[in-house]
Amino acid sequence: MTNLALAATEEEKMERFMEKIEKGIKIEADDWMPEEYRTTLIKLISMHGMSEIMGALPEKEWVPKAPSLHRKLGIMAKVQDEMGHGQLLLRVAEDLLKPYGKTRGDLMQDLFTGKLKFHNVFHAETRTWGDAGLIGWLVDGAAIITQTDMLNASYGPYARALHRICAEEVFHAQHGEAIIMALAEGTDEQRAMIQDALNRWWNSLLVFFGPAAKETLGTSKQDVTIKYKIRTKTNEQLRQDFFTKYVPRILSLGLELPDKTMHYNEEKEVWVYQEPDWSELKAVARNEGARSQARLNLRRTSYQTNAWVRDALAATIS
Amino acid sequence: MSNAENVLSPEYKEALKTLLFQLADDDFLLSFRGSEWLGLAPHIEEDVASSSISQDTMGHAAMYYKLLEDLGEGNADALAHARPAEERKNSVLAERVNGEGYYLETPEYDWAYAVVRNFFYAQAKKVKIDSLRTSSYQPLAETAVKVSMELYYHLMHWKLWFTQLLSSTDEAKRRMNNAIELVMKDFGDIFSYGNAKDAIEKEGLIAKEEELKANWTERMKPVFESLGMEVPAIPAASEKNGRNGEHTEDLTEALTTLSEVYRLDPAAAW
């Protein structure tokens, strides 16, 4: 635009943008947005999307092994949903990436090179059927808590995707809880299976919400995401919500909390718990978790093995 | 023929159970193979679609096992998970591995094989289901109607893949033609009723083997013609007839995996 009088300056655009954010007006894919907002969203949503896709892999390990016809059907449907969420979210991320000329293929490459991360919980190994239940119950349970907090995210396409995703995640948590309850009401070996799974996953579940303050790891996106009303609660508030919801349920199933020091401080109205080992998060950020490389390798290999299929499809379209 | 279990003649019941095991084991094993593909399909959209098909297929297997349970054969989960390889009545095609490597390591599965196996199998299943809709055993006829509704979409899905890949790059055509050859080698027992042929065919449970084969070829013709190809001939017999409990090592390995948790405690509720 040559007419300077009519052209809105960057500051004016920013002012209008923040006004919309404050008023709760949704930002849409084609709207003007500051670079920081776009890059924050890309990082958040592509990580969320890729985590759904990489998150299908640990559970997938137990799909063929599910112990009954009913469980086989349930877990197949559950993992399929996760892939579907991944697809939905990558579509949202792809729109945001357009100005940079990047595509889903680039996101996949970023995943392979380690530039794009996936959630810490999906780097862990799954040892027993108890893990398959626990992932559905508590990992999805934790995800519901963080995602519900973003249902009113300022970015419309993400908020709408989350509405669909959360509706399905509730089923997943019920699916996981049903597996866990069957085991809890079962034999000694079955009960031992879930206690063992809980003990092994506890640290990852706490780490999942992120550090309370950026001093813990040196970086945190929580301030930016709150400023732009993408989310409302801090990492610590979300972790506390998780405890409030799940600690009573864990205890009611006759399971023991892996953290023996954990208690609720009535006066301060907070759960007091042992700080998780944050080195886990640093390790998975470098893709050095127990199963990080194996799962990345699985995805990379299948991507390469199937390259001829994508080429063949591209040839029939053009 | 009445459907109340207690008035079925022993011969009829025997033939019916054999047929049901063939149908159930076919879908159960193929769905298991599909579940190994989970997360590894050529693109995410396909992962969602083929996973949905595997679920439907597992659901069909569960319906057949339930019919067997109703006939007094024992618990459906036990029928699915606890029977050894030599008692399985699935076709060899359904048990074959997806390609190189174990699913928990870094397998290199062959998408061309997946497309051809699933398309040819879905078409075979379709001609069987069409016949089963008028089965003399009413509960099976009712099941066929339910299966039919979902099978329509499975067939459409695999047919699209089949024609697209065979009308594309030279590499795709080469891989698809290899896959056709591989699948047809195992196609000899797909329409076989094994040693129960005479018993099954005379009870009006389902059409005769030869009639189903002819129907399959007839349905395949337009698809192949549109690609300038000829429908491959169904082998008269295969080296192993799965309907008689003759199987490959692939089945033994599949059963070990799919029943691993079940076998920890078959009496427990999972």
Domain tally for chain B?
A: 1
Contact A86, A52 (CB under 8 A): yes
pLDDT in tens, A202-211: 999 999 999 9
Q: Which residues of B touch A313 (CB under 8 A)?
A: 42, 164, 168
Q: What is the mean pLDDT of chain A?
A: 94
* In chain A, residues 31-90 whose CB comes closer than 8 Å to chain B: 53, 56-57, 60-73, 76-77, 79-80, 83-84, 86-87, 90
Does residue A252 contact residue A177 with C-beta atoms inside 8 Å? Answer: no
* For A182, nearest residue in chain B (alpha carbons): B270
Chain B, 178 to 237: residues with Cβ < 8 Å from chain A are: none
- B163-200 in b/e form (b: 16+ CB < 10 A) is bbbbbbbebbbebbeebbebbbebbbbbbbbbebeebb
CA B50 – CA B41 distance, rounded (Å): 8
Taking the CA of residue A180 and the nearest CA in chain B, the distance in Å comes to 9
Q: In Å, what is the CA distance from B133 to each residue of A55, A136, B22, B59, B65?
A: 41, 39, 17, 18, 18
Alpha carbons B197 and B189: distance in angstroms, whole number: 12
pLDDT of residue A219: 64
What are B43-99's pLDDT values in tens digits?
A: 999 999 999 999 999 999 999 999 999 999 999 999 999 999 999 999 999 999 999
> Which one of B32, B46, B48 makes the best mutation probe of the A interface by having the most chain A beta carbons within 10 Å?
B48
The average pLDDT across A154-171 equals: 96
CB A128 within 8 A of CB A196: yes
Collect all residues of chain B within an 8 Å Cβ-Cβ radius of residue A186: 268-270
* B171 belongs to a structural domain: yes
Tell whether B170 lies on the interface with A, counting CB pairs under 8 A: no
Please count the residues of chain B.
270
Q: What CATH superfamily is the domain A25-179+226-234+274-317?
A: Ferritin, core subunit, four-helix bundle (1.20.1260.10)
In three-state secondary structure terms, A135 is: helix
Residues A215, A15: Cα–Cα separation, whole Å? 30
**Beta-carbon contacts of residue A297 (< 8 Å; ≥ 6 apart):** B106
Give the model's pLDDT for residue A34: 96
Per-residue pLDDT averaged across A43-54, rounded?
96
Which residues pair with residue A272 across a beta bridge?
A: A263
DSSP string for residues in B164-228? HHHTS-HHHHHHHHHHHHHHHHTGGGTT--GGGHHHHHHTTSS--HHHHHHHHHHHHHHHHHHTT
pLDDT at A223: 85
pLDDT in the model for residue A4: 58
Beta strands in A166-295 (DSSP E): 263-265, 270-272
- CA of A22 to nearest chain B CA: how many angstroms apart? 36
CB contact under 8 A, B169 and A301: no
Q: What is the CATH number of the domain that holds B208?
A: 1.20.1260.10
**Complex-level ipTM:** 0.95
Please write the tens of the pLDDT for every residue from A93-150. 999 999 999 999 999 999 999 999 999 999 999 999 999 999 999 999 999 999 999 9
Q: Which domain holds residue B188?
A: 9-264
The residues spanned by each domain of chain A are 25-179+226-234+274-317
B41 near A84, Cβ under 8 Å?
Answer: no
* A65/B257 CB distance under 8 A: yes
pLDDT lower than 70: segments of chain B: 1-6
Residue B21: per-residue pLDDT: 98
**Which pLDDT belongs to residue A216?**
66
Residue A222 pLDDT = 79
Mean predicted confidence (pLDDT) in A250-271? 97
* pLDDT value of residue B2: 44
Is there a contact between B51 and A129 if contact means CB atoms under 8 Å apart? no
**Please, which residues bridge with residue A265 across strands?**
A270
Q: Helix, strand or coil for residue A80?
A: helix
For residue A145, give both structure tokens.
Answer: 């808590």
Q: Is residue B182 part of a domain?
A: yes
Task: Inspect the interface and report whether the beta carbons of B258 and A129 lie closer than 8 Å.
Answer: no
Residues of chain B with Cβ-Cβ distance to A79 below 8 Å are 38-39, 51
DSSP A144-170: HHHHHTTTT-SBHHHHHHHHHHHHHHH
B47 touches chain A (CB under 8 A): yes
**Structure tokens given for B15:** 């033939």
Phi, psi of A135 (to 5 degrees): -60, -50
pLDDT of residue A7: 73
Q: Is B171 on the interface with A (CB under 8 A)?
A: yes
